[in-house]
Structure 1
């Protein structure tokens, strides 16, 4: 009986010890403080070089806008190179709208806040996740 009790306690403590391990990734908290209206939502995508400008990315968030500000967090991001794209989806159609000449109708921004003309480029928005949580500000 003593052996059975010892085995049960050992199994219980082993299981509980695994539950205390920290997740391997880190958090990336994004703030945007210059949203022009509270209409719609802000869509955010966390991208690798392979997913950049090709869809929603490896993680996607949809955030409410309060008083022209947004705060959202990507959770459990493993170390590596990433870029974040943000879109103020004013009409909540879950996509960017364009003029007939191809210019965006809705505000957007990227990590590092590059000021470039032409399509967004990964290397301009790229940042590195290493061994700590990050706080990034994006401007539209």
Structure 2
């Protein structure tokens, strides 16, 4: 019985230590922000949660038209990032009366069309190493 408990304990320790090594970091840089006013809001999604509840959300300040954010403890998989320049710091994307955005925005892979971003056009893979992205507004 003691042997089984010890063996089970070792298996749990081995699995948990190997999973820690699988967690990655996603670093996102934006270099073309029109002003240092406000902040930039970022949301990290997987396919199931896209444009619903982010896996992680962050907000960063802008310095000299540039900002950098890191999403840490990310497991392997497909993800998408959407970000926007919250010029007035109201924590939401602002739109005019016809639905057009009043604030700059972007998404991973920088494929922007008329209309909101979609997962297939903005997805990227986290697998063997940390990921660095540049998003343009």
Q: Determine if the TM-score, normalized by the shorter chain, exceeds 0.5.
A: yes
Partner of 2:81: 84
Structure 2 equivalent of residue 137 of structure 1: 134
Residue in 1 aligned with 2:56? Answer: 59
Aligned residues: 122
CA spacing shift, 1:73–1:101, aligned 2, 3 Å:
same
- 1:24 is displaced (CA, Å) by 3.0
Tell me, which stretches of 5 or more residues in structure 1 are unaligned? 1-14
What do you get for the CA RMSD once the two structures are aligned? Answer: 1.8
The structural deviation recorded for 1:23 is 4.5
Question: Could you give the per-residue CA deviations for residues 70-108 of structure 1, whole angstroms, max 9, x where no partner exists?
Answer: 011000100001000011000111100000000000000
TM-score where L is the length of structure 2: 0.84
* Kept in 2: contact 1:31–1:137 (CA 8 A): yes
Q: CA deviation at 1:52?
A: 1.4
TM-score normalised to structure 1 length: 0.82
Please identify runs of 4+ aligned residues in structure 1 that moved more than 4 A. none
C-alpha contact (below 8 Å) 2:41/2:60 kept by paired residues: yes
Structure ID, larger Rg: 1
